[in-house]
Amino acid sequence: MNKTANCEGAIALGREVLLHEAQAVKDLADTLDAEHFGHAVELLLNCKGRVVVSGIGKSGHIGRKLAATLASTGTPAFFVHAAEAAHGDLGMITEEDVVIGISYSGSSSELVTIVPTIKREGAKLISITGKPDSPLARNADVNLNVHVPFEACPLNLAPTSSTTATLAMGDALAVACMHAKGFTKEDFARSHPGGALGRRLLTHVKDIMRTGQEVPMVRAGTTVLDATREITKKHIGMTAVVDADQKVLGIFTEGDLRRLIEQKGDVRGIHIEDVMTRTPATIAPEEMAASAAKIIDERMINQLLVVDGDGRLIGALHVHDLMTAKVI
């Protein structure tokens, strides 16, 4: 068999697996037990302690992801390996906690072994299994059924469709709790300060603006030549024009300078207030950096002046500052 035939066969099989797993998730939605799912969400919402997720093998990997998703969407959660729980880690579970036990067969010995201790401690148990009549499901306060007729694996052996269905059920739980709690994108950003969304929603203009001697400015009455020296010195491609009280009167950029030279030739004796751009774009230091990025994008400019409530110049932003802070 040639390489082309092998490649085509792999592509066809890959597409078949994707369709098979997508159908498994669709079937899960169509057959979702509303009463059981609602009960599970209620247990999580009423949890006064933490949500403890446990599993082993492939179910353990899914459990780690579920715990991380819950924690990042407003439901405190952590993962405990079922085997480690049986050898001491179970001591961290209290009666105020809710345990989510994941086992497709519902018979994983490591997980079933710790069920009596969970019940004795008074913690609530949510099981996620593919077999509602399994030992784990029978002993749970509520079971979420993730049964699939067949795995996507051609041998019907490797956990494929079943793990996808379990992952989807976990996401459904997390998102339902997130919605019920009124969790917002600002809440999400606070738990992801290092991520792109966190930077956009938590970074203020005052956090990244240039201040003090870094801010180029000249007084009204300054010549274009002296304004050019200020632009060159401060390396931001512009200078603000201010009055005696440091209130912003205008802005003069390198682009303005080039256009002025094309029109006038010798510009050394021209006063800056005669050629500056009046009413330049400004922003307050308390504004979000994302708002500054929006102004820069909409007005197709590279610099933005930062002013206080009285219109006094207190800082400056360049598009590169926003890029360095990874706001854009």
Walk me through the domains of the chain, giving residue ranges and CATH numbers.
3-183 (3.40.50.10490), 205-324 (3.10.580.10)
Poorest-confidence range of 36-40, 202-206, 308-312? 202-206
What is the Cβ-side half-sphere exposure of residue 29, based on CA atoms within 13 angstroms? 9
Q: With 70 as the cut, is the pLDDT of residue 193 above it? A: no
Q: Mind listing the pLDDT tens digit for each residue in 36-83?
A: 999 999 999 999 999 999 999 999 999 999 999 999 898 999 999 888
Task: Express each pLDDT in 83-139 by its tens digit.
Answer: 877 665 566 788 999 999 999 999 999 999 999 989 999 999 999 999 999 999 999
* CB burial string 216-245: b at 16+ within 10 A, e below: bbbeeebebebbbebbeebebbbbbbbeee
Of 156, 108, 100, 148, nearest to 124 (Cα)? 100
